[in-house]
A and B are shown apart, each in its own frame.
Chain A
Amino acid sequence: MEYAVQLKNVTKTFGKVVANKDVSLDIRKGEILSLLGENGSGKTTLMNMIAGIYYPDEGEIFVNGAPVEIRSPKDAYNLGIGMIHQHFKLIDVFTAVENIALGLEKSEKFDMKAIQAKTQEICDRYHFDLNLSQKVYEMSVSQKQTLEIVKVLYRGADILILDEPTAVLTPQETERLFEVIRNMKNDNKSVIIITHKLHEVLEISDRVAILRKGEYIGAVDTKDATENSLTEMMVGKKVELNIQRSEPENTVKRLSISNLTVYNKEKVKVLDDISFDAYGGEILGIAGISGNGQKELLEAIAGLQVTAEGSSIRFYERGKESSPMELVGRTPKKIRDAGIHLAFVPEDRLGMGLVGSMGMTGNMLLKSYGRGRLPITDTKGPKQLAERVKKELEVVTPSINTPVSRLSGGNVQKVLVGREIAEEPTVLMTAYAVRGLDINTSYTIYNLLDEEKKKGVAVIYVGEDLDVLIDLCDRILVLCDGKANGIVEGRRTTKEEVGLLMTNLKKGGAENE
């Protein structure tokens, strides 16, 4: 067996945190290896050591059988290793080809035509869909990612590492990416792909290597693996992979949206005449390719978007069902002051929902700091709440005063969701609540949402994983191009039907059913 990369007894620590402990891992030539593990299990750190971003504290790395020392990304490139990071490293105002030229050695001749020709040749060989003279700021996320891959291939990489490449892609784009990855494999390149999505792991990879809490658990051939067996290896115990969906009981209308239209800063219509109702005791899913108005829809309800004339958002607060409150034109503070219990878990957790530099206590204060007549903040309640959330949701943090930006993604989300649920909302809106979270935390969140639904809360769940949407939600509103393209029943619909509604706008839009 020929190995592209071998890691032997690699250990890496950051301060007191052990990111990788004594990891030994082989990557074969011409294989697609999935690296699987929960958040914080050390996948990215391990790959960063191969890519020259970190240097291991202990252990050795072999490339093509020879011991090597990788001190910088440049060393990695010289060994034929290229990594595509989650956050792209491109210059926005440069074209695709200029970005590629940027990475050249100083000694190489700067010949744009030759670079263009060679890049085109790579694109043709692997069937990349890329316009080489397009500027990066005009590209979609998927095109930027393609460019990153081409860039790495241009520099002669035989070993490619992709860090959660599908997290930002639509199902169709993911398919295309997998196509390309298979092409690269046929060209005898080794591809390592880090991902959380088990069905993708099963679809694309030849082998799966699993890390748990920084330690290497083992590798299995994909053909012998199932979602359940992989989860068990990852978590260390059996996990029920069934999403609970209780039957809706005593549904009451809580939110009635009609003719909601929103323009963005560039005066482009991002929400177009949307109308629907949400009921207490049910989970309303919102599906759509990302960027089709989901964010604006939730933000408009929360009072963070300016709505166009004629829009109406009526809120039926508990006990005041007969006199609904109009939310249009109210700021978040006014909504709260009016006694509306509206909870919102935004997509950008640290950039909108939380204050990264503050601890859990400070973040629990975020929506309630204004309470009381005194000019000083009352931290007693928030402190107790922080302790409670920490205990009930099993938030892993050194202390409730540790800045939340230092916590792992899953724990950050638990803090945010914990705070929002604690307010005993009438309506709970969540945007991409499980994005980037590992399987265990994801199921915790699904169950929490179902619990809230049982309490009679109207839950709105914006999601990207269609399987989850169909298994979790009672009804699913599909957005397409800023329009409501139909509402389907979660129990009766299929992935295909929702997928079709996501991409093909019905003539004349959909009626609210």
Chain B
Amino acid sequence: MSKESAKIKEPFVRIVKRDGATFRNKLAARAVAILLALVVDAVFIFSVTGLNPLAVYGVMFNGTFMTSVRFSWAMRDLVTLLCIGIALAPAFKMRFWNIGAEGQVLMGGLATALVMVKFGQSMSAPMLFLTMFLTSVIAGGIWGFVPAFFKAYWNTNETLFTLMMNYVATSIVACMTNIMRGKASSLGKLNMSNQAGWFPQFLGQRYNINILIVVILTFVMYFYLKYSKQGYEISVVGESENTARYAGINVKRVTIRTMILSGAICGLVGFLIVAGRDQTISTTSAGGNGFTAIIVAWLAKFNTFYMALISFLLIFLSRGASEIASAYSLNDFAASIIEGIILFFILGSEFFINYKMVFRGSKHKEVR
């Protein structure tokens, strides 16, 4: 290279695509991101509240890890979120934007609750659980089937459709809970007297059954998407419908089948929430997890094991944030800002994993 070229002014900074970052590089980038986030957070905490940032971080950590009970609560919340993420994975992989998980979970939960109330006294425990499971899965499946059917046959927009189905589900639940509670002021725990339809204690907690089921599902869904024929069909349909038709795949059938699966797993989450966690149902039973799970599924690029990590991060942050809020009697917004900064940096690190910046004057030499 001649010296003359240095005379020309390059742009101050250019963005260059990075090719295949190694696993270690990716790990390093994320670690640096978290470190930076903690530094920025520290500045924020100190300048706004005057508290010792390290002490605040300690409290935040305590939110999940102080006692074994807290840890198990965190795990309970984690699997709820994770399981919805698992449910969304096949739909998203097919590029079917199912944002109706919230409603599908609610319908599953409602079906479970109705069975508990209706048959709690009359059925034997195994039969009762089986019925609760089946009705929840069917209810969620129907909520997934309807938008898929319309999409397959009349090409309706699935995003709007699934979103609107959420409101329908919420209204149905509101209506049914009002009927069920009768004159009481609130619904309260269902079947309080005989605990029919409550998950039995397992290793000391009812919701340990939830955790076990979701762990199994994590593996099953991973293998389903990666190695099964149906998983392959989902990938092809998601990539190009024309290719799918060319390959002899029945696109309508795959679309409907996959959404029934997605809705059914959401319905299962409703079952787990009602039988294993709340023992009751309300319009807020899904608690926004149906939407948060969209982020989980996307960030993990539909890999269920990454989903577990990301769910953990989100739960850790939100529990930490509420812990800070109560320990220092800060308002929730301050805690949310701390949470937000950490998330922002982690998402930002994705950019630096895929691209790098070249500054003026630096020797951008990759040519050998």
Q: A residues bordering B, Cβ < 8 Å?
A: 9, 11, 13-18, 21, 55, 57-60, 67, 69, 71, 302, 304, 331-336, 344, 346, 348, 350-358, 362, 365-367, 369-370, 375-377
Contact = CB atoms under 8 A, between A and B. Distances in A.
Contact of B246 (A11, A67, A352): A352
B246 A304 contact: yes
Given A9-B5, A344-B246, A367-B248, 13 more contacts: A9-B1, A14-B17, A15-B16, A17-B19, A60-B8, A67-B7, A69-B9, A331-B250, A332-B247, A355-B243, A358-B239, A366-B247, A375-B230
B70 interface: no
Nearest to A350: B240
Contacts of B16: 14-15
A370 B367 contact: no
B18 interface: yes
Contact of B242 (A14, A18, A351): A351
B245 A332 contact: yes
B11 A366 contact: no
B240 A333 contact: no
Contact of A356 (B8, B239, B245): B239
B367 A55 contact: no
Nearest to A59: B5
Given A57-B364, A333-B248, A369-B232, A15 B243 contact: no
A411 B244 CA distance: 21
Nearest to B249: A333
Contacts of A365: 232
A353 B242 CA distance: 8
Interface of B: 1-2, 4-5, 7-11, 14, 16-20, 223, 227-233, 235-236, 239-240, 242-243, 245-250, 364, 366-367
B23 to A, nearest CB: 16
Contacts of B11: 55, 71
B1 A58 contact: yes
B250 A333 contact: yes
B157 to A, nearest CB: 19
A58 B365 CA distance: 9
B235 A355 contact: yes
Contacts of A370: 229, 248
B148 to A, nearest CB: 20
Nearest to A302: B246
Given A346-B246, A375-B230, A377-B229, A352 B4 contact: no
A491 B65 CA distance: 83
A376 B246 contact: no
A59 B364 CA distance: 12
A15 B230 contact: no
B62 to A, nearest CB: 43
The 5 closest A-B pairs by CB, nearest first: A15-B19, A333-B248, A332-B248, A352-B242, A366-B247
Given A55-B11, A67-B8, A351 B240 contact: yes
B247 A16 contact: no
Contacts, number: 105
B246 A332 contact: yes
Nearest to A214: B367
- SS class, residues of chain B in contact with chain A: mixed
A304 B245 contact: yes
Contacts of A59: 1, 5
A365 B5 CA distance: 50
B227 A18 contact: no
Contacts of A346: 246
B240 A352 contact: yes
Nearest to A355: B239
A492 B173 CA distance: 78
Nearest to B248: A333
A375 B367 contact: no
Nearest to A365: B232
Contact of A367 (B19, B230, B247, B366): B247
A18 to B, nearest CB: 6
Contacts of A377: 227-229, 231-232
B236 A355 contact: yes
28 contacts: A13-B366, A15-B19, A15-B20, A17-B19, A57-B367, A59-B1, A60-B5, A69-B9, A302-B246, A304-B246, A334-B248, A335-B248, A344-B246, A351-B243, A352-B246, A353-B246, A355-B240, A356-B239, A356-B240, A357-B235, A357-B239, A366-B247, A375-B229, A375-B230, A376-B227, A376-B228, A376-B229, A377-B227
B248 A331 contact: yes
B190 to A, nearest CB: 38
Contacts of B18: 15
A312 B302 CA distance: 45
A424 to B, nearest CB: 18
Nearest to A372: B229
Contact of B243 (A16, A55, A302, A354): A354
> Which of A69, A348, A376 counts the most chain B CB atoms within 10 A?
A376
Given A58-B1, A69-B9, A376-B229, A336 B248 contact: yes
Contacts of B249: 333
A19 to B, nearest CB: 11
A508 B336 CA distance: 77
Contact of A9 (B2, B7, B239): B2
A154 to B, nearest CB: 28
Contacts of B5: 9, 58-60
Contacts of B233: 369
A89 to B, nearest CB: 22
B243 A11 contact: no
Contacts of A353: 243, 246
A60 B367 contact: no
Contacts of A375: 228-230
B97 to A, nearest CB: 17
B315 to A, nearest CB: 31
A365 B248 CA distance: 12
Contacts of A376: 223, 227-229
A304 B229 CA distance: 22
Contacts of A333: 248-250
Contacts of A13: 366-367
Contacts of B232: 362, 365, 369, 377
A88 B235 CA distance: 30
A348 B242 contact: yes
A331 B9 CA distance: 60
B20 to A, nearest CB: 8
Contacts of B367: 11, 13, 18, 21, 57
A11 B19 CA distance: 18
Contacts of A331: 248, 250
Interface centre among B1, B2, B16, B247 (most CB of A within 10 A): B247
A187 B247 CA distance: 52
A55 B10 contact: yes
A376 B223 CA distance: 9
A332 B233 CA distance: 15
A336 B231 CA distance: 21
A375 B225 CA distance: 12
B248 A15 contact: no
Contacts of B240: 350-352, 355-356
Contacts of B228: 375-377
